[in-house]
Amino acid sequence: MGKALFDRQLVAGHMIPTLYKHMCGWPCQFADLEQVDEEVYENLKKLLEMNPEEMEYCCLDFTVTEEVMDVKQEIELVPGGKDMDVTCDNLPEYMEATLQYKMMGRVKPQLNELLLGFFDVIPEPILTIFDFQELELLMCGLPEIDLDDWRDNTEYAGEFDRVGSNHDTVLWFWEVVEEFDHEMRARLLQFVTGTSGVPARGFAVLQGNDGNVRKFTVHGVDAGEFVYPRAHTCFNRIDLPLYRTKADLKQKLELAVTMVATGFDIE
């Protein structure tokens, strides 16, 4: 990959966003865990809502169980983790330790070799001028996005379930996407699906993180729930508030798409 980037050759395959973050030296966030292990991500979110008594019933400690070659292994997230019970007080430390293990610890040898090989060709300081989304576009190029195919293979849910593509907000959404240049369309696709890659057979076979076909979905929500659009990359879904004007929709969508690379929650 480093040689291809050095020689200005495009890489056909796309990687998950966290790998581009590692290459840029960006920290991984809790939301990134959803793309790697959705089940663990959802279970950790549930722990945040538990009271001390419910947490005790879970009987959790600072370990994880991995199965390698049909052999189960218990791995400590921190030294002495098997003797440390998870409580409401140390839950943040447990979540951070789990995140570090899932995103880096379990693949540390492979990740180290990948980065050492890449930085041997492309010095790490050079990449600091890019965010992780720009790095993907730099390595893989801007995709040729067939807007008609994208629109024809989009599903609608929530507030748009009945009216679908005829809803005013949906009509504004596609008008805004038409006005976007190639880079902004690619960034929108990255924002919602986690990658700028388009399947060779088109959006009809767009896949989720589980490998199953999950079409691009526009999910309508009440504007009072949140101000900016939100993405669920596991489901290729964007939650789009019911804005009052097209101009408001365009402004909020552009901010959401461009600010995601900063690592800050614009809410």
Q: Fill in the amino acid letter for 139.
A: M
Residue-wise pLDDT tens digits, 156-180: 999 998 888 899 999 999 999 999 9
Other CB atoms within a 10 A radius of the CB of residue 123 amount to 10
Q: pTM of the prediction?
A: 0.61
pLDDT of residue 34: 83
Query: In whole angstroms, how far apart are CA 237 and each of 178, 207, 224?
Result: 19, 12, 19
Rounded Cα–Cα distance for residues 23 and 3 (Å): 14
Other CB atoms within a 10 A radius of the CB of residue 241 amount to 22
Q: Do the Cβ atoms of 264 and 191 come closer than 8 Å?
A: no
- Crossing angle of helices 132-140 and 17-24, in 10° steps, is 110
pLDDT at 154 over 90: yes
Q: Do the Cβ atoms of 183 and 137 come closer than 8 Å?
A: yes
pLDDT at 192 over 70: yes
Q: Name the strand (E) or helix (H) holding 246.
A: helix 246-259
Query: In whole angstroms, how far apart are CA 73 and each of 31, 64, 70, 76?
Result: 26, 8, 10, 10
Query: 24, 58, 88, 234: which one is catalytic?
Result: 234
Which has more confidence, 101 or 212?
101
pLDDT at 204 over 70: yes
pLDDT at 155 over 90: yes
Q: Name the strand (E) or helix (H) holding 22.
A: helix 17-24
pLDDT of residue 95: 93
Rounded Cα–Cα distance for residues 12 and 209 (Å): 19
pLDDT at 142 over 70: no
pLDDT at 87 over 80: yes
Single out the residue of 257, 229, 224, 209 nearest to residue 35, CA to CA. 209
Which has more confidence, 1 or 111?
111
Query: In whole angstroms, how far apart are CA 19 and each of 133, 191, 218?
Result: 11, 16, 27
Whether 59 sits among the annotated catalytic residues: the reply is: no
Q: How much is the average pLDDT of 34-55?
A: 88
238 pairs with which residues across the strands? 218, 231
Residue-wise pLDDT tens digits, 235-266: 899 999 999 999 999 999 999 988 765 444 43
pLDDT confidence bin for 52, thresholds 50/70/90: confident
What secondary structure does DSSP assign to 157-192, as a single string? EETTTTTGGGSHHHHHHHHHHHHS-HHHHHHHHHHH
Q: How much is the average pLDDT of 39-43?
A: 89
Residue 117 contacts by C-beta under 8 Å, 6 or more apart in sequence? 2
Q: How many residues are there in the chain?
A: 267
pLDDT of residue 14: 76
Rounded Cα–Cα distance for residues 135 and 119 (Å): 14
